[in-house]
Structure 1
C-alpha cells in the first residue's frame, strides 16, 4: 500500500562547551557529556513526556571505552529516559551526528516513530582518533588509497596541491576571521543559548563549571604565519588554519511536524533534503561540494536559494574550495556568521548537530531567509549536506 512521507522538524539542539583534547574534560566521561545533553533537551522541552521519545541515536567515531557499549541506549538509560526507549550507536567519522539526525529523520518520515533524539560525542583526550583501529593492509598494499588518505592533515595538504590558487595566506585570513566572528558571537550572546554547563573536576583545583568553549583564542596573521606545518615540510596546513583536537557532545530533538504541533513543541527548522557522497579519500575535503550538489538536486533548489551556510571548518582549505566552486566570497556574511570549528572546535562525531543548532538560531533572527544548509567533509573520502527550511520565513529573497 502507498505510504505517506511525513515532514520532519528540528525542534531543539544543545551541546556541551567544546574542550581541548585532554583539557577541561580530562576527568569527565564521554558518556556523561552525552547524558548532560539529553537531560538538558528534556528540561528545555517540558511539554514532551519522556515516554514519547521513541529512539536515541548517538554517534562516536572511536566506539570503545566510555564511548562504546551501544552508547545511544546506555546514555538514554543513564539520562533517565524510560527503559522502553531504545537506542543505538552510529559512526560516519566527522559526520556521525549529522548521520544520526538524517537516520532518525528518515525513520520519522516513514512513520517508524514520531519523536527521536540524535547527537554525537567525541572525547579525543581519552580516545585519540585511530585508537584501537587495525586498518586492513590491503587498503594500502593494493593501492585502494594512498597512505596519506589515512591522515586528515595530509589530505588537506593534498587538497592544496589540487587548488594551488588557495594560498596559505588566504587560509590564515579565513582562520583569523573565524576566530574573530566567534569572539564577536560570544560578546553578543549568540552562542551561549546552545551551551549546557558541565561540572568538571580538576585534581588540584577541585570542582568547577565548564560554561564556554575552551578552544577560541586571540591570534593574528603574524602569529598564524609563524606556526609549524606538521603534515609536510614547508606545507600550508597548521594548527591555526585547521580545527583542533577536541572533546564534546551534542544532542538534538527531531519530531514529526504534526506531532510537534500536537505537543506544542517549537519548530526550529524543517528538513528539506540531505545527501552523502563518496570522493577520493586522498582529498576528502572536497566532499561537501558533490554532497551539496546532490542535496540541492533532490530538493529542486540551486545554490542561489541558500541564504545561510553552516560549513564545518575541519580545514580552512576545504571550506575555501567549497566557496570557490560555488562562486561565494570568502567573507560572504551568509557563511558561518558566528565563526566555525577552527575557533570553536571539532569533536568529530558531535559536530554535525552543532552546525544545526547554530543554523536554527540564525533562522530565528533572519525571517527573510528561507533555506539554509549544513555541510561537512568526512574522513576516508566523503561529504555530507543537509538542507533546511526556515519556519519563520516571511517571503523574503532567500
Structure 2
C-alpha cells in the first residue's frame, strides 16, 4: 500500500468510437457492457506487465443506471472481461460528469493511500437508454430546481442566451463550425487512432463491421448550413440548434490510474499527474455555467491560474455554454489552447463516457506537446453542477 498523499498518475486512457444514438447508430445492436469489455482487454494488450490482479477497484460512471446499465455495471465489467471475481467495482452518477467524477474519485482514493491501481471509466448507451429514461422526479423537484427548464438541457442553453445576450446565435454557430474544422483536421491526421479501441459490431441489416471511427463528426459543415438549422427548443427566437449542440451518442472510455510509486516500480511510464479537482453547484436553469466556479476552485487548490493552463479541454454540451465559460474564465473563444482536436459538438456526448474521453485527449495532447505543463479538463452537469480536474504533463521530464 502506498503512503498517504501519493502522486496519482495516468498510465493509459482508451475509448470506443462514439456512435450516434438510435437505429442508425453503429452500436444499436451492441449492449453497453460490450462497449466496455474490449477496453479492459486493450489495457492489458497495450501495457506490457499490466495484469488484472493489480486493479484494486473498478469505478464506472453511468448516468442512467437501469436495464443493461444497472446492476452495478462497474462490478460486472471486469467479470465479463474474464478478469475473475477478485476485482471489486461500483457505479456512480453525477449525470454528464459521472465518468469524470469516477476519475476524480479514483484519483483521491489513490492520493490518500487507499489503493495503488484503479480503473475509472464511463459508459452511456443513449440509443437504448435515452436521457431521463424511467426517472420519477420528486413532486417538489421542479419548483426547487427553478422551474421546468431545469429538466431540459437544450432549454437551459437557451436560458444562457437569454441572460447573457452578448453570446449570439452567430457566435455559437461560428464556434460550432470551428469545432467541426478542428475535428476534421485531427481525424485526418490520425490523432484518434491510438485511443480508439476497435470493436466488432452487428449492423441493422445483420452484417458485421468493425467500429473504429467516430460516427458523429460532420466535416462538411459550413457556416451557411448551420445558420439555416431550426431551433427545436424554442421555435420563435431560439438560438440553440442541433448544429451548435453536442449529439446523443453511445460510447465508453476508461482511464488506468496508479500511484506514481507503483507505476515506476512496475516499469510503466506515467503520462500525466493529477493535480487538483473542483466541483461546484449553480442555478440548475443555467446549468452550463458551472464549469466556471468548478475550475476556479480547482485552480485555487492547485495554486495556479488560467494563464498556467497550456491545454483546455471543455466538454461542449452547447456552444453558448462553452462561450460563456471561456469568457468568464478569461479565455477567448478561438484561443488555440481550447479543444485543439475539436470537442463534443463534433464527436458527440455520450454522457458518462465524455469525462474519460477528455482525459484521453489530454493524454494525447500532452504527449504531442512535451513543452506544455498544465492542462484542464472541465464539463457542465445537468441539475446545475460543474466538474474540473487539473493535470500536469509528465512527458516533460522524459523529453
* 1:143 shift after superposition: 4.1
Tell me if the contact between 2:102 and 2:120 (Cα under 8 Å) persists in the aligned partners. yes
Tell me if the contact between 1:370 and 1:395 (Cα under 8 Å) persists in the aligned partners. no
The whole-number CA distance in structure 1 between the counterparts of 2:78 and 2:397 is 38
Secondary structure in 1 matching 2:226: helix
Tell me if the contact between 2:28 and 2:204 (Cα under 8 Å) persists in the aligned partners. no
Cα RMSD after superposing both structures:
1.4
Alignment of 1:85-124 (within 5 A): 85-124=87-126
The whole-number CA distance in structure 2 between the counterparts of 1:12 and 1:195 is 12
* Greater alpha carbon shift after TM alignment, 12-21 vs 318-327: 318-327
Secondary structure in 2 matching 1:111: coil
Q: Does 1:384 align with 2:387?
A: yes
Q: Which residue does the alignment assign to 2:45? A: 43
Q: Give me the TM-score of the superposition, normalised by structure 1.
A: 0.97
- Match for residue 340 of structure 1 among 322, 338, 343: 343
Alignment of 1:7-26 (within 5 A): 7-22=7-22, 23-26=25-28
* 1:158 shift after superposition: 0.4
* 1:394 shift after superposition: 6.0
* 1:4 shift after superposition: 2.8
- Match for residue 328 of structure 1 among 331, 341, 344: 331
Q: Which residue does the alignment assign to 1:351? A: 354
* 1:395 shift after superposition: 12
Q: Does 1:150 align with 2:151?
A: yes
* 1:67 shift after superposition: 0.7
Which consecutive unaligned segments of at least 5 residues does structure 1 have?
A: none
* Greater alpha carbon shift after TM alignment, 196-205 vs 85-94: 196-205
The whole-number CA distance in structure 2 between the counterparts of 1:15 and 1:4 is 30
**Could you list the per-position Cα deviations for residues 7-64 of structure 1 after superposition, in whole angstroms to 9, with x for gaps in the alignment?**
1001110000000002111100001101111111122113112211110011111011
State the 4+ residue runs in structure 1 displaced beyond 6 angstroms: none
- Match for residue 219 of structure 1 among 205, 212, 221: 221
Q: Does 1:5 align with 2:5?
A: yes
* 1:122 shift after superposition: 0.5
Secondary structure in 2 matching 1:239: coil
- Match for residue 233 of structure 2 among 231, 250, 256: 231
* 1:393 shift after superposition: 2.6
The whole-number CA distance in structure 2 between the counterparts of 1:243 and 1:295 is 25
Alignment of 1:1-398 (within 5 A): 4-22=4-22, 23-140=25-142, 142-217=143-218, 218-233=220-235, 234-393=237-396
